[in-house]
Amino acid sequence: MELSETDREIINGDHGRAAADALQLVLKFAEAVGAPRLLPCASAHVDGCLYHGQASLDFVERFVALEGRVKVPTTLNVGSVDLIHPELFVGDSALGAAGKRLMEAHVELGCTPSFTCAPYQTLLRPRFGDQLAWAESNAIVFANSVIGARTNRYGDFIDLACALTGRVPDYGLHRSENRRAKAIVEIHGFDEAGPDQAGGLAVAAGLFTGKHCGDAIAAITGLPRSTSEDDLKALGAAAASSGSVAMFHAVGLTPEAPDLETATGGMDVPVAGRLGPLEVAEILSSLSTVKDDAALTTVALGTPHFSLTEFDRLMPMLDLAPFAVPIYVNTGRHEWERLCADGRAAILEKAGVTVVVDTCTYVTAIIRDLSGAVMTNSGKWAYYAPGNLGVDVAFGTLADTLHSAKAGRVVRA
């Protein structure tokens, strides 16, 4: 292992005991993955603030006791409770208290209390080429693919260790030669696509890529020019849910893929699949575990967290209120502050929409009635919720979900 002068200073304790201990973990991890050196990282995003048991709290409390402080700007992923709206939590009180303490302990280490799975929507968005130590599957994919920053799939504990040292192992997607496409997914028949159609296509393309490409980087061709950043967010989240995807190239849309030759590095790579309207419809249909006209108890939106642009699309649909079932929308604090400042938070509340901050409805106990099916426009929520919450799911467009909330049953707008 090549150690820099900074590495040696940290090991010697010049930056404090917490940083020295954290660097030992980073070095062991680097050795395990075959990294020859460490790199300075521009920022970190820590996934470990979602409570999974006492070990996760013990780990962080130890660095708090050592008076540790993160060395780079560090955002936090969702936690177990909504600290702004604590009354929304309906789970076990002891688990809620432990989850709350875990979130607070990370803040004591100097992390930014963002508590969002979409840190790229905050003011701390990284830049093209930045080396990162990011966790949270969809954020990793977005950073690599849509922004062109560089991070591997860092998990709990090692993400915080990198943040406490400002160092990250030099391997994998930190290196240019490992960021080329190894498979191609061809899309056809969607030259002209409205917002709902483009969003559904993105989810289908992501699910297909994750299932059929695994951890191989795919170059996706044929996505319509109308594909938005929110669509690419949904694509990456679906791909990371159904497979081990950490990066994709949307040819002509993402920064490292102006054309297919650039995305593949000029290499001949196989076509993993071709998706037209029929295949896309079949993939999206497979996300629903109930048929149309089935009774609903809830609508769940915002996985990954809703952006301000997505709220822009939602607001006009509130004219459908009153709704027959509750609507929950997950979002980040950055977006929540804007909604409060411009008056939209009050409008949402009046329409019967519950905005959930700091967490997500498929990972913690917030939805009060899970006795029937839940409808969502999120491929990630639809993919995970049946296993996480034991519920039936209906997948549809944003318009579908609002019209279904109005009817209290699954309808298609």
Is residue 337 predicted with pLDDT exceeding 90? yes
What pLDDT does 68 receive?
Answer: 98
Q: For 84, left (φ over 0), alpha (ψ -120 to 50), or beta?
A: alpha
* Tally of residues, the chain: 413
Q: What does the block give as tokens for 130? A: 């930045």
Is residue 194 predicted with pLDDT exceeding 90? no
Checking 123-128 for CB contacts under 8 A at 24+ apart, the result is 123/334, 124/43, 124/73, 124/75, 126/42, 126/43, 127/42, 128/255
pLDDT in tens, 132-176: 999 999 999 999 999 999 999 999 999 999 999 999 999 999 999
Show which of 224, 253, 285 is a domain's final residue.
285
User: d(Cα 61, Cα 39) in Å, to the nearest integer?
Assistant: 26
Q: What does the block give as tokens for 382? A: 């639809």
**Is residue 29 domain-resident?**
yes
User: d(Cα 362, Cα 80) in Å, to the nearest integer?
Assistant: 11
Indicate the pairing of strand 373-376 with strand 393-395.
parallel
**Is residue 412 domain-resident?**
no
Is residue 295 predicted with pLDDT exceeding 90? yes
**Is residue 238 domain-resident?**
yes
For 133, the domain range is: 5-176
Is residue 80 predicted with pLDDT exceeding 90? yes
State the pLDDT confidence band at 61, using cuts at 50, 70 and 90: very high
User: d(Cα 210, Cα 244) in Å, to the nearest integer?
Assistant: 7
Show which of 250, 285, 320 is a domain's final residue.
285
Number of domains in the chain: 3
Global model pTM greater than 0.85: yes
What pLDDT does 3 receive?
Answer: 97
What pLDDT does 123 receive?
Answer: 87
Strand order in the sheet with 183-187: 248-250, 218-221, 183-187, 271-275
For residues 272-285, give the mean pLDDT.
97
**Is residue 413 domain-resident?**
no
Is residue 168 located within the same domain as residue 243? no
Cα atoms in the 13 Å half-sphere on the side-chain side of 30: 24
What pLDDT does 266 receive?
Answer: 96
State the pLDDT confidence band at 413, using cuts at 50, 70 and 90: confident
Amino acid (1-letter code) at residue 193: A
> Which residues lie across from 375 on neighbouring strands?
299, 394
Is residue 75 located within the same domain as residue 104? yes
Q: Is the dihedral of CA 212, 305, 44, 163 positive or negative?
A: negative
Show which of 285, 302, 330 is a domain's final residue.
285
- H helices then E strands: how many in the chain? 15, 14
What pLDDT does 36 receive?
Answer: 98
Is residue 343 located within the same domain as residue 298? yes
Q: Give the dihedral of Cα atoms 394, 398, 403, 408; nearest 10 deg.
A: 30
* Residue-averaged pLDDT of the chain: 97
What pLDDT does 193 receive?
Answer: 78
State the pLDDT confidence band at 191, using cuts at 50, 70 and 90: confident
For residues 397-403, give the mean pLDDT.
97
Angle CA 204–373–47, to nearest 5: 60
pLDDT in tens, 197-223: 899 999 999 999 999 998 999 999 999
User: d(Cα 302, Cα 406) in Å, to the nearest integer?
Assistant: 18
What pLDDT does 196 receive?
Answer: 83
Is residue 109 located within the same domain as residue 33? yes
Contact criterion met (CB below 8 Å) for 400 and 413:
yes
For residues 4-29, give the mean pLDDT.
97
Contacts for 366 with CB less than 8 Å, ≥ 6 apart: 82, 88, 89, 90, 328, 356, 359
